[in-house]
Amino acid sequence: MGSVKVIRAKSAGFCWGVERAIDIAREYAQKGRHPVYTDGPLIHNRQMMEVLTGEGIREVGDYTSEAKLAVSRATDANAVMVVRAHGISPERRDYLKSLGMEFRDATCPDVGIIAGKVRLHAKKGFRTVIFGDPKHPEVIGLLGYAEGQGHVISGEADIDALPELGDKVCMVSQSTMFTDEFERLAARLKGRFPGTLVFDTICGATKDRQADILELKRQGCQAIVVIGGRHSANTVKLAKLVEIQGLPCFHVETAAELDLAALGRYATVGVTAGASTPAFLIDEACRKLAELA
C-alpha cells in the first residue's frame, strides 16, 4: 500500500455563527458567571458539548427549544441564559426573558436576517413558505415570525399540498439547505403562486462547504470523509452531496470511527466537516489518515 494523500476542505469546521455563539458562552463562563445556560444544545456536536460542559456551560431544555425549563433566578442568581446560533421564536424569547436571569442572544446574524425578512413581510400581510426541516430548531424559530401565516416545505409534494395562499407569498430557506433543491422548489412554488417573492437565504458557509466537495472531487479525491454529528443537519447534507457526486462517503463523528482498512485503498482522500464540528476532531482524523502508509 502506498501512502494516502489527504486533502482538507478549506471550509471544514465551525462556521462563523457557531464560533460566535461558543465565544459568547465561553466569555461568560471565563468571567465566573455560572452556570451559563443554553436553551437546547449550543452546538449539534456531542464531543464539543462535553468540552463546553466541563467549562461550566450547561444545556437545558431540548433540541427544538420548546420545553419549559426547570431553572429560576432564585436558585441561580449568577446565571446567564444564552440563545444558540439557530435562533428562537419571539414567543420563546419572551419566555426565556421571563425567567429573570441575564439574557444574551447568540443567534447567528445570518439567521437573524432571515427572521427579519419573514417578520417584515408577515407585517405586510404576506404568507411565508420556509424550505427546511419542520423539526429543526432554526425552522421552528423562523415560523414564529410568520404571524401564524407560515408553512414549511421540504419537497415538491409539500408545495402541491399547500392551501390557496393568495397573491402575497414570500419564500425563504433554512440556512443549511441545498441550493439546487431550493431553486427547483422556488420554481415550482412560483408555478402555483406566480407573484412569489423568493429570497435565497442559504448562508455563505453552507454554499462554501457544498462547493468545496466539488473542489475535492476536482482535485482527484477518490473518497471523502465527512466529520460531524449524526444529528447535525448540515453534516448529513454534506454526506449526501458526496454520494450524489458518486464518491464513496465515510461519515464519522470522530476519528475512532474511521474505517482505516477501507480508506487505505485510496490514493487521495478528501476530508470535510460540518459547521458544528470542532477543529480538534478534524485534526485528529487528518492525522490518522496521514499515518496510513
Q: Would you name the residues annotated as active-site residues?
A: 138
Exposed e or buried b per residue across 194-229, where buried means at least 16 C-beta atoms within 10 angstroms of its C-beta: eebebeebbbebbeebbebbebbbeeebbbbbbbbb
Tally helices (H) and strands (E) across the chain.
Answer: 11, 12
How is residue 170 annotated by DSSP? E
Quickly tell me which residue has 440563545 as its cell: 83
Asked whether 188 and 156 are in contact (CB, 8 A), the reply is: yes
**Strand ranges across the sheet with 268-273:** 5-8, 268-273, 223-227, 249-252
- Maximum Cα–Cα distance across the chain: 64
β strands within 4-160, DSSP E: 5-8, 36-39, 57-60, 80-83, 102-105, 127-131, 150-153
Rounded Cα gap, residues 283 and 261, in angstroms: 19
Q: Would you state the cell numbers that stand for residue 57, as one nine-digit string?
A: 456551560
